[in-house]
Amino acid sequence: LEIKNYLLVAGKGGIGKTTLSLLLALRWLEKGKRVGILDANLSSPDIPLYLGIPPLGVETLKEDIEPLEVQGLKVLSLGLFLERRWTPVSWRGPIRHRVLQHFVNKVQWGDLDLLLIDMPPGIGEEHLTLGELLKGKAQVLFVSDSSRGAVFEVKRLNAFFRQFGIKPIGVVLNKESWHRPRGLKLKLLGAIPFEPELLLASKEEGGLLYFEGGKTFRTSLKRLANRCFRMLNRESGYPLTLKARILLKGG
């Protein structure tokens, strides 16, 4: 059993991390990739809501958890195990740490080309835990817009993840057209326009599964999905050192 790539999706609160994670995941599934998504947002674990999966209750939370499968997408979220959509979760750091550790290491994800990890906003216990757990083997996609606050949040997160050897594959601008925000030096992978249909879809549980979007939106999403996948596999999570490369070549 193997997970080939881990991709964190991070950025400022409300910028579109969950929406883009899910739309990218669905796009990659369409192209025949084996994809899983882990909802690392333990305070507002809304992925089940976006996918229309009802909360199943705490009794379903066992030692050996298997991710749920929705249209071929493997999904795991704390939201699956709550009594209600609005059950409040206000755990302290150590519990968040243990739950995420379990979700990453003890869950039967199976063989995956990619495990997407939808991060909560800010830099908290979830970031520390995943940084440590996936040290040197995950990469990160940042979601931003050109507001100064969103750009600084990306810079902050990038500096943070670098400490764990988690490298950026680049930035996607959400709800914007393609241009480089001031002071953002990371690679731009795409610009996803504002899509009014997406707001309509978000009014229904599971609305995202049936959402198509206009032509410009679909084209930009496809391009983004392709670019991300290329970047992921170009920058391998375990880069060979120069020494190892020379040894392999027999030099």
Where does the chain have alpha helices with state H?
17-30, 47-51, 93-105, 125-133, 148-162, 196-201, 207-210, 215-234, 242-249
By CB under 6 A, the count of residues binding ligand ATP is: 19
Nearest to 156 by CA among 190, 106, 119, 209: 119
Stretch that binds ligand ATP, among 14-22, 89-97, 130-138, 162-170 (CB under 6 A): 14-22
- The continuous run of DSSP H or E covering 138 comes out as strand 138-144
> Which residues between 170 and 189 bind ligand ATP (CB under 6 A)?
174-175
Helix (H, G, I), strand (E, B) or coil at 26: helix
Query: In a 3-state reduction of DSSP, which class is residue 77?
Result: coil
Radius of gyration of the chain (CA): 18
Site residues for Mg ion per CB under 5 A: 17-18
Joined together, the tokens standing for residue 136 give 């040197």
Binding ligand ATP (rule: CB under 6 A), the pick from 1, 14, 182, 242 is 14
Per CB under 6 A, 221 contacts ligand ATP: no
Closer residue to ligand ATP, CB minimum distance, 34 or 150? 150
Task: Indicate whether 16 belongs to the interface with ligand ATP (CB under 6 A).
Answer: yes
Let me know: does 172 contact 144? Beta carbons within 8 Å. Answer: yes
146 contact, one of ligand ATP, Mg ion, none, CB 5-8 Å limit per kind: none
- Judged by CB under 6 A, the chain residues 91 through 120 that form the site for ligand ATP are 120
When asked if residue 200 is in the footprint of ligand ATP (CB under 6 A), the reply is: no
Q: Which stretch binds ligand ATP (CB under 6 A): 8-16, 130-138, 146-154, 234-242?
A: 8-16
C-beta of residue 55 within 8 angstroms of C-beta of residue 82: yes
Residue 199 interacts with which of ligand ATP, Mg ion, none, CB < 5 to 8 Å by class: ligand ATP
C-alpha 229: how far from chain center: 13
Judged by CB under 6 A, the stretch of 7-15, 64-72, 81-89, 223-231 that binds ligand ATP is 7-15
Using CB under 6 A as the criterion, which residues of the chain lie in contact with ligand ATP when the complex forms? 13-19, 41, 44, 120-121, 174-175, 192, 194-195, 198-199, 202
